[in-house]
Amino acid sequence: MLRLLLIFFLLSSGSFVAQTVSNLIDEVDVIKLSQTLNELSGEVSTVVDGNTVTILNRVSNTDNNVAADYLLQRLNALPNLVFNDQDYSPGVNGGRNIIATQIGQTNPNDIYIICAHYDAVANYCADDNVSGTAAVLEIARILSQYNTANTIVYALWDQEEIGLLGSNYYAQQAATNGDNILGVFNMDMMAHDGDGDNDFDIDVRPIANSIAMKDEIISILNTYKVNNDIDLNVNVVNPGTSASDHSRFWNQGFSAVLFGEAWSNDDQTEDYHTSGDRVSTLDIDYFHDMVKLAMGYMATKAGFNVLSTDELDAIGVSVFPNPIKDKLNIQLREVIETNIEIVNINGQILLERSIINLENSLKVSQLPEGIYFINLKNEKGQRVIKVIKE
């Protein structure tokens, strides 16, 4: 799982440079958000694994795998992500989290999670919770194009509606593994504003740094409200509800908040938990502003645009061939002590060594076929290379 945080990817084709967090906020595309709302709620057909489908069913424990496949396909189309199709309860009607991780290039073990549940209790259920799911996908689409200092996990939970099962599984595993999760930004029902007052809720409890996390979100709102036209008003709910996935991280002592429409003012969707929860009932402008605020927070916590690919190349290491069979060659451009780790896809360190020669080779014939990560670090920086063992 998050043991993969021992490693990180480089962008494979150049450096993307955004000037400011404000620029990233402006990249949030209301048309793309609307398309996801309509496709994932079953209002329109879409293509999944080459087949034209209508995703009407996302109901927990009733084979919502087409919805999961759709999410996996969307995330797989993005660069710079490590994927985990987390089938934590195997079987046609079991639980399946869809997770993508963007490894930080400076602080890979500093983790921020942005998440939502994708399961439902009835057909359509656009607000609950295609809205949160669409927000995760849109933020992943934007941030995955950039280098980030910290690690971002884009998590889409299953079985929220029958007991927060998917997030509970992940949170327990994270606590067991000792993952350094610094913040969990959970989005659940964020597209309905029946009274038009642009209010939204942040649910917190005095657990870990959840109050500080709330303060940071409000600071982001105040900073970008005018220039980025984010027309929102915050309600802080303390103690916040435990009836969504963030609470499973509270249970494990992690900082987490719930971000969504104004239940505190009785302004949740009137079609809650029914098939009347359709895209046509949502306030798309309000939803757009909510996603822009979430984007501003995650871009700030990610520490995007910290290192360019050229700067990372300054470590001065070459690794070849790729794919590998029997021997891995590592060349240094100068005599400088460099630490090497070979890590498997599960995050287990299989080999550790320090080299100083310009020409080096490692025997890898004993490794099973599969994907591995070569973690290289010296006084000039750190780089990770993904290799395939044949």
Q: Where are the domains of the chain?
A: 2-302, 314-389
The 10s digit of each residue's pLDDT in 198-247 is 999 999 999 888 999 999 999 999 999 998 999 999 999 999 999 999 99
**Could you give the CA distance from residue 128 to residue 122 in angstroms, rounded to a whole number?**
10
Is the confidence at residue 10, as pLDDT, over 70? no
What confidence score (pLDDT) does residue 247 get?
97
Specify the pLDDT at position 369: 84
Q: Distances in Å between the alpha carbon of 39 and those of 57, 66, 137, 249?
A: 12, 12, 13, 30
> With 0-12 CB in 10 A as exposed, 13-18 as middle and 19+ as buried, what is 362?
middle
CA atoms within 13 A on the CB side of 303: 15
pLDDT tens digits along 147-186: 788 999 999 999 999 999 999 999 999 999 999 999 999 9
Q: What is the pLDDT of residue 372?
A: 80
Over residues 57-82, the mean pLDDT reads 93
Contact indicator for 207, 257 with CB cutoff of 8 Å: no
* CATH class of the structural domain 314-389: mainly beta
Q: Mean pLDDT across the chain, nearest whole number?
A: 88
Residue 387: its pLDDT value, please?
76
pLDDT interval class at 301 (50, 70, 90): very high
Q: How far apart are CA 335 and CA 172, in angstroms?
A: 44
CATH architecture of 2-302: 3-Layer(aba) Sandwich (3.40)
Please determine, for residue 6, whether its predicted confidence score (pLDDT) is greater than 70.
no
Please tell me the predicted confidence (pLDDT) of residue 345: 64
Per-residue pLDDT, 188: 98
Q: For residue 242, which amino acid is it?
A: S
For residue 107, pLDDT over 70 is answered with yes
Question: Do residues 96 and 85 touch, judged by C-beta distance below 8 A?
Answer: yes
CA distance linking residue 94 with residue 79, whole number of Å = 29
- % of the chain exceeding 90 in pLDDT: 63
Structure confidence at residue 315 (pLDDT): 67
pLDDT at residue 3 is higher than 60:
no
Please return the burial class of 186, using the count of CB atoms within 10 Å of its CB with bins 0-12, 13-18 and 19+.
buried
* 92-94-100 Cα angle (round to 5): 105
Burial of 57 (0-12, 13-18, 19+ CB in 10 A): middle
Between 371 and 169, residue with greater pLDDT: 169
Contact 102, 154 (CB under 8 A): yes
Per-residue DSSP letter, 242? -
**Whether residue 47 has pLDDT greater than 50:** yes
Mean pLDDT calculated for residue range 129-146? 95
Report whether pLDDT(360) > 60: yes
CA 213 to chain centre: 17
| Mean pLDDT along residues 100-114 | 91
- pLDDT for 308 equals 36
d(CA 336, CA 220): 42
